[in-house]
Amino acid sequence: MNETQKNKRALVATDDHSLPAVLTAMLAPTGIEVQCVDSQSMQPYAESGYTVVMVDGNPLGEVGQGLPAMVVISPDDPINAYDSGADLVIDKPLRTNVLLAKLRSVLRRYGVNI
């Protein structure tokens, strides 16, 4: 089974209690299911089986090695986020059309179509 046939899941690491609902609504048309964890947890970087990992704020350490696509939302230092392995850095407020276009572009590199 290739990646386009698998269930698509996003792991969101955040302390912003409103962000999961916002991302769930934004990603619903793509078929991506959203699961959330506390942003201070190392869980997002260790988990597998996710199409994309989204970190709200600053990533904890290097995040891009052998993991799914990495999106960092509103980090303090975007250069550090990219140097830590982010595929995409996007700032709040999130705009649905822009987020989805950028996410489609990143995921295509991983062989995933949404």
What whole-number distance in Å separates Cα of residue 96 and Cα of residue 33?
Answer: 16
Where do the structural domains in the chain lie, given as residue ranges?
3-107
What whole-number distance in Å separates Cα of residue 58 and Cα of residue 72?
Answer: 7
pLDDT at 2: 44
Quick one: average pLDDT of 21-37?
A: 94
Flag whether the pTM goes above 0.75: yes
- Strand runs labelled E in 14-112: 33-37, 52-56, 69-73, 88-90
Encoding tokens for residue 34? Answer: 């959203």
CA 17 to chain centre: 16
pLDDT at 6: 61
pLDDT at 39: 77
pLDDT band, very low/low/confident/very high, at 4 (cuts 50, 70, 90): very low
Q: Which option is the CATH number for 3-107: 3.40.50.1370, 3.40.50.2300, 3.40.1390.10, 3.40.50.10490?
A: 3.40.50.2300
What are 48-69's pLDDT values in tens digits?
688 998 999 887 766 655 667 8
